[in-house]
Amino acid sequence: MSQDKLSIVLRILDNESQLIERADRKAIALLSILGVFMVFFIVYYRLIPVNQVTVALTASYFALAILAIASLVMVVHPRIVHGEQTEDQKADNMPSCDPAFFGGICKFPDLAAYRKALGDMMADEAVTFNIYSRQVFSLAQINAVKYKHIQRATFVTIGALAIELSIIVYLFANYMGVGIMPPII
């Protein structure tokens, strides 16, 4: 029965890890899309007539673009605040170094110390279960922060792109109003 519990926890851990990777891929895709549209904006920037409408739209565009970039950076590198451990967590029989994950593995001075800690962890099923369940909980908290920022970044990126497209439409309408076609670069 304990192997079933551990396999379930490992499956949940794998799912949480995949969610983290998916959030990172979404952030990189949004950043790429924003970058491509920024290049279009820079190409047409010199053709934009300077008036109150374009200055307001351009300022709004840059503000939203900066906010989108900041949100996307927070997706890739979220800020997680670790709270104080409760009495239940302190009594969980947890080792000082976690031999199952990168941060804990790097704290061991050599292979022999790591091998001993890993053997000790695997010998006690309760400790193994606690370590993996703690990792699932930590990854779920990271995912919650990542998806909050990815949602914000999505809306802000869509807003920035909508303003950019509005500027381009205004640019073409302005040039067409005076009877000339803006150069296409």
Query: What is the reported pLDDT for 90?
Result: 53
The mean per-residue pLDDT over the stretch 93-122 comes to 74
pLDDT(185) > 90: no
Task: For 76-112, give one letter per residue: b (16+ CB within 10 A) or e.
Answer: eebeeeeeeeeeeeeebeeeeebbbeeebeeebeeee
Query: What is the reported pLDDT for 1?
Result: 40
The overall pTM is greater than 0.85: no
Q: What residue segments make up the domains of the chain, in order of their start?
A: 2-177
Query: What is the reported pLDDT for 108?
Result: 80
Q: Mind listing the pLDDT tens digit for each residue in 120-175?
A: 887 888 888 888 888 888 888 888 999 999 999 999 999 999 999 999 888 888 88
